[in-house]
């Protein structure tokens, strides 16, 4: 009996591995230590810029309990991925068409109690099911702030982890804690500085963080890649409030140009 279960479990594991290796869909997890540093804003705008690079993008709102990507994409979803995980709808029902060409949204649910489905591997099943469609080039996952177990579950799924930080000392302390955690299991972490006017400032701080990692003997094979900076601009919060994407509405603005560079660096770095 146990042998049979174990054989079935092994089959499932190898099936998952096959899916991971054969699907064209690359996973990018956007995360941060500190909250409010611009993850959701940058994720939705990166999705737009990636679609302009002819990529088919699906964005997953994985900020458990505080999902707000539906607001950024100006949608009122009837179904969220929790409905799918609870077996109340089909995968197709949660793949929401946005008004942007080649961008699909999988919405989360605000105020949801994660403990209702508190059984690990749920998110990886969702991600596997989306990848097995082999329909999208990139699955962008916007996580909540902090290093809680849900965020860690998403981080497990990929080597493409993009951390957003600001130059604020508390954000830097949190991003270093994230580096420490990621370095235990992964080979690299990509870093983007938001609310940061100068490219060189982000580059210099990245160098200091790398030095600190060396000094504290974090995994020596672990790399931190600097992806670029995004300036602080009032127009970003204004377009956000209007439920529009600054990278589309304000193409010429410095922040759009900067984010384009981050996206180009990201595409070069994707595994």
Ligand X SMILES: Nc1ncnc2c1ncn2[C@@H]1O[C@H](COP(=O)(O)OP(=O)(O)OP(=O)(O)O)[C@@H](O)[C@H]1O
Neighbours of 198 (CB within 10 A): 12
Integer CA distances (angstroms), 29 to 76, 89, 171, 240, in order: 24, 25, 18, 21
Helix (H, G, I), strand (E, B) or coil at 31: strand
Q: Which is nearer to Mg ion, 40 or 196 (CB)?
A: 40
Size of the site for ligand X (CB under 6 A): 20
The order of strands in the sheet holding 188-193 is 96-97, 103-106, 57-62, 138-143, 26-31, 161-165, 188-193, 223-229
Burial 214-226 (b: 16+ CB within 10 A, else e): eeeebeeebebbb
Q: Which is nearer to ligand X, 158 or 165 (CB)?
A: 165
Size of the site for Mg ion (CB under 5 A): 3
Q: List the one residue from 25, 26, 29, 38 that touches ligand X (CB under 6 A).
A: 38
Q: Does 258 bind ligand X (CB under 6 A)?
A: no
The tokens for 164 are 């957003």
Q: Does 232 bind ligand X (CB under 6 A)?
A: yes
Q: What is the closest distance, in whole angstroms, from the C-beta atom of residue 72 to ligand X in the complex?
A: 8
Which among ligand X, Mg ion, none contacts residue 47 (Cβ within 5 to 8 A by kind)? Answer: none
DSSP letters of 62-82? E-TB---HHHHTT---S--HH
Q: What is the closest distance, in whole angstroms, from the C-beta atom of residue 144 to ligand X in the complex?
A: 6
Stretch 57-76: interaction string toward ligand X, x if CB under 6 A: ------x-------------
Task: Choose among 198, 265, 175: nearest CA to 227.
Answer: 265
Which among ligand X, Mg ion, none contacts residue 61 (Cβ within 5 to 8 A by kind)? Answer: none
Q: Does 40 bind Mg ion (CB under 5 A)?
A: yes
Interface residues toward ligand X, by CB under 6 A: 32, 35-41, 63, 144-145, 194-195, 230, 232-233, 236-237, 240, 255
Interface residues toward Mg ion, by CB under 5 A: 39-40, 63
């Amino acid at each position: 009996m146990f042998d049979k279960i174990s054989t079935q479990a092994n089959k499932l594991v190898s099936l998952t591995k096959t899916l991971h290796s054969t699907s064209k869909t690359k996973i990018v997890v956007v995360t941060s230590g500190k909250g409010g540093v611009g993850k959701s804003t940058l994720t939705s705008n990166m999705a737009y810029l990636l679609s302009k690079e002819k990529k088919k993008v699906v964005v997953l709102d994985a900020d458990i309990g505080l999902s707000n990507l539906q607001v950024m994409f100006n949608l009122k979803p009837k179904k969220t991925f929790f409905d799918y995980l609870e077996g109340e709808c089909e995968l197709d029902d949660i793949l929401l068409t946005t008004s942007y060409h080649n961008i699909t949204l999988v919405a989360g649910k605000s105020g949801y109690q994660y403990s209702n489905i508190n059984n690990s591997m749920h998110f990886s099943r969702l991600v596997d099911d989306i990848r097995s469609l082999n329909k999208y080039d990139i699955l962008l996952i916007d996580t909540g702030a902090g290093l809680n177990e849900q965020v860690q579950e998403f981080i497990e799924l990929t080597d493409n982890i993009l951390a957003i930080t600001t130059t604020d000392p508390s954000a830097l302390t949190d991003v270093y804690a994230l580096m420490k955690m990621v370095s235990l299991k992964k080979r690299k972490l990509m870093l983007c500085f938001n609310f940061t006017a100068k490219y060189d400032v982000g580059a210099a701080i990245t160098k200091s963080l790398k030095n600190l990692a060396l000094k504290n003997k974090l995994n020596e094979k672990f790399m931190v890649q600097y992806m670029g900076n995004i300036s602080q601009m009032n127009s970003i919060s204004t377009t956000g409030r209007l439920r529009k994407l600054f990278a589309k509405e304000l193409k010429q603005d410095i922040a759009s140009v900067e984010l384009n560079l981050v996206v180009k660096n990201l595409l070069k770095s994707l595994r």
